[in-house]
Amino acid sequence: MGRVVANAITSLDGYVARQDNSIGSLFDWLQNGEVALPTPAGDFTVQLTPPSAEHWRRWTSSLGALVCGRTLFEVAGGWQGRHTLDVPVVVVTHRVPADWVEAHPDAPFTFVTDGVEAAVARAQELAGDRVVAITGGTIARQCLELGLLDEVAVDLVPVVMGGGNRPFFGELSSGDVLLGNPTVCVQGDRVLHLVFPVQR
C-alpha cells in the first residue's frame, strides 16, 4: 500500500483557514508564477514558479485517493462531483448526504460513517500503491493520534493569521507528537514545501 500523508497549506502560525473557513493569503502562491498548469480535473489553472511547478507535478501525479471530513466537503460544495485533483475522495461523515449522492451518481466519492480508520482503509484500497492524502485538520489530527500517518506535508506560507482561526491539527488528546527531521522539498516564491516523517 502507498503512503498516508497529511497535507496542508498553512500559515507560519499553523492555521489552514480562518474560523469562517476563508483562506486569506494562504493560496496566493498558486497564482504568482510564470508556469501555467491546469489542475488534474481541468477546472482551473494554477500559475506557479518553476520550483513549485515541479513540486506540484510530483505531488499530484503521486496521488491515488483523498480523505476529508464532512466540513471540507460542504465548504467545497462537493467539488461538483469531481475533485480538483481528479482522484477518488473518501468523506468521513456521520450521515451520508443522500440527495447529493443522487444528484451525482457517477462521482467517485465514498462516504464512510464508521470512523477515520475505516475511511483510510477504504482510501488505501482505492489508491493501491499510490499516496492517500489526508486533507482537513480534524481528520489529520485523528489520523495522527491513531498512528495512521506516514508523513506530514506542509506548504508553509509566510503569513501570520493570528487567533480565532482553524489550526492544521488542533489540540491533541495525547500531548506532543514528535515528528522526524523535515525534508525541504523546494523553496518557492512565498511558499516553502516541507515533508516531515512520522515516527512510530
Residue 139 belongs to a domain: yes
Residue 44 belongs to a domain: yes
**Sheet of strand 63-69: strand arrangement:** 109-112, 89-92, 63-69, 131-134, 4-10, 151-156, 192-197, 183-187
Range of the domain at 57: 4-20+31-197
Separation of alpha carbons 90 and 134, rounded Å: 10
| pLDDT tens digits, 40-68 | 999 999 999 999 999 999 999 999 999 99
Give the model's pLDDT for residue 8.
96
For the chain, the domain total comes to 1
Closest to 77 in 3D by CA, of 94, 91, 63: 91
Residue 15 belongs to a domain: yes
| pLDDT tens digits, 126-174 | 999 999 999 988 999 999 999 999 999 999 999 999 877 889 998 888 7
Residue 26 belongs to a domain: no
Residue 25 belongs to a domain: no
Residue 157 belongs to a domain: yes
What is the domain-level CATH number for residue 87? 3.40.430.10
CA dihedral for 133, 137, 143, 144, sign (positive or negative)? positive
* pTM for the model: 0.94
